[in-house]
Amino acid sequence: MTRMPAVQQDQLLDLRIERLSYGGEGVGRHDGFVVFVPRSVPGERVRARVLRRKRQYATAELEEVLEAAPDRVEPPCPYYARCGGCQLQHLSYAAQLANKQAEVAEALEKIGGLENLPLRPIIGAQETLGYRNKMVFHLMRRAGAVSLSLVGRSAGGGAVARGGRGKAPYQTNRQQIAIDACAILDARANALIPALNAALTRMLGDGPDTPPHESFGHLMLRLGVGTGHPMAMLGVAVPELAAAEQRQRWQPLIAALPEGASIWFNVMRRPWDEHFGRDSHHIHGPQTMRESVRGLSYELLPETFFQTNTRQAGLLMDLVVQWLNPRPDDLILDLYAGCGGLSLPLAQRCAAVLGVESAYSAILDGQMNARRNGLLNCSFRSGLAEKMLRKLWAEGLKASLVVLDPPRSGCHPKVIELLPRFPARELLYVSCSPPTLARDLKALAALGYEVIEVQPLDLFPQTYHVECLVRLRPGPALLHPPTGG
Which domains does the chain carry? 12-72 (2.40.50.140), 134-292 (2.40.50.1070), 309-478 (3.40.50.150)
| pLDDT number for residue 153 | 76
3-state secondary structure of 396: coil
179, 193 contact by CB (below 8 A) = yes
| pLDDT number for residue 233 | 97
28-58 pLDDT tens trace: 999 999 999 999 999 999 999 999 999 999 9
| pLDDT number for residue 214 | 86
Residue 412 has pLDDT above 70, yes or no: yes
Residue 162 has pLDDT above 80, yes or no: no
124, 97 contact by CB (below 8 A) = yes
Residue 184 has pLDDT above 90, yes or no: yes
Catalytic residues: 432
Residue with the bigger pLDDT between 310 and 246: it is: 310
> Please, which residues have CB within 8 angstroms of residue 451's CB and are 6 or more apart in sequence?
114, 117, 118, 441, 445, 470, 471, 472
| pLDDT number for residue 483 | 57
Please give the mean pLDDT across all residues of the chain.
91
Contacts from 253-258 at CB under 8 Å and sequence distance 24+?
A: 253/196, 253/199, 253/200, 253/203, 254/283, 254/284, 255/199, 256/192, 256/195, 256/196, 256/198, 256/199, 257/192, 257/195, 257/196, 257/230, 257/232, 258/192, 258/228, 258/230
Residue 276 has pLDDT above 50, yes or no: yes
Residue 157 has pLDDT above 90, yes or no: no
Q: Quick one: pLDDT band at residue 84, thresholds 50, 70, 90?
A: confident
Residue 355 has pLDDT above 70, yes or no: yes
88, 24 contact by CB (below 8 A) = yes
| pLDDT number for residue 434 | 96
Q: Quick one: pLDDT band at residue 273, thresholds 50, 70, 90?
A: confident
3-state secondary structure of 317: helix
Cα gap 196→253, rounded to integer Å: 7
| pLDDT number for residue 171 | 32
Residue 458 has pLDDT above 60, yes or no: yes
Q: Quick one: pLDDT band at residue 159, thresholds 50, 70, 90?
A: very low
| Residue 410, Ramachandran bin (φ over 0: left; ψ between -120 and 50: alpha; else beta) | left
| pLDDT number for residue 169 | 35
Question: What residue type is assigned to position 164 of the chain?
Answer: G
| pLDDT number for residue 154 | 63
Q: Quick one: pLDDT band at residue 172, thresholds 50, 70, 90?
A: very low
Average pLDDT of span 109-113: 94
Instruction: Compute CA distances 381 → 305, 355, 367, whole Å.
Output: 16, 6, 9
Residue 165 has pLDDT above 60, yes or no: no
Q: Quick one: pLDDT band at residue 166, thresholds 50, 70, 90?
A: very low
- For the chain, what percent of residues have pLDDT higher than 70? 93
